[in-house]
Structure 1
């Protein structure tokens, strides 16, 4: 299966390739590689790496953390936000946490999400081999938004969805591609929103764990798998953890044919 790969905010496609286990030319990294390297070891997985188009500039204290410039993001808020991610709240439910976080951020909307999903749909339409999506952090948020857009287009125009499954790492709940607002499960009366098989890679020590769980709660519980690597807001890289995750993802791939 070929996967569309979406990096986190402030990252780039090249950074995504390198971190996933490839060098900047796309060749497999030397030595025991992390997740994508492991997934390709049987020759059955391929990847298409892309990135956001909005340039961003990491704060000086994070220089180099997100990889070499230029750095990009997918989502662009319609107005300024003074919310500091270090102040991310913790409430009784993931949805309550997200609502408080959005309130602290001034209830942002992201009208450019329409352009983002249009571009990603264009990538799917131009490469008939892509049948899955892998996203990390903001990339997982965009992946979920893309899935919603495919479902919307199927309902409204009959376009057949291309994505059969998703790997969502340290994700955030999606944005509605029409309204630009964040989608939460308790606003949809408990109905599953994302109806394809999903693997949610979470970290028990992730300060944004509630965001990942808010995304998980939007998915069909019969086909949504949780994989806890026990760490923070990171992609797992230790060999045993990566091999275990690879097994889970391969099972998911087999389940969708």
Structure 2
């Protein structure tokens, strides 16, 4: 059974939520002309945001992180986006030397060994490349939704990030049913792993399918405490992350 068959539901207020999401994106493009990017994770929500940007010809750049640990199905979406939407995608990869040093020092499966090592891996593969994506930009767009987790239950449509940029979350009030109803209505391409019970998809070692009744993000970092389940991309206070990342990188001989 496909994710569309499982989750596509028309709900009250859907059209209004779509219209509001478009207005948020238009405001981002207007207020940050030439300096705003959609940081797409290539998940279902972000594919919806990309479709809204392309469909309404909104001047927002597209950028993504190729961590070196993505599923093949996820990486394959990058050229598919460019072909389907006729828009270029900026691809940011981790620094090769940092990855080589980390793996040599801590192993390919370091993320399972401790929370610090997992965050260190995320820092090298996600946070540092994201900083390059956002360099020189005054705003960015995400696919965050309040329904995704308790940690995201109060996500606003517009908020400042920890570096003084403006962060836009146009789908903040959308439900999972809304996301798939939009995908079905508009024939939006999506990651086929969603059809394999993976609603939240990250790097391959850190993602598994969820079982009936499990939380939306239960398949992400499933061996960790629920409160730890963020990589650092979407937390207000990254101060706890930075010493871990810098100390691991700083261990180079």
Question: TM-score if structure 1 supplies the norm length?
Answer: 0.30
Question: TM-score if structure 2 supplies the norm length?
Answer: 0.31
Name which structure has the greater RCO, CA cutoff 8 Å, separation 6+.
Answer: 2
**Which has more helix, going by share of residues?**
2
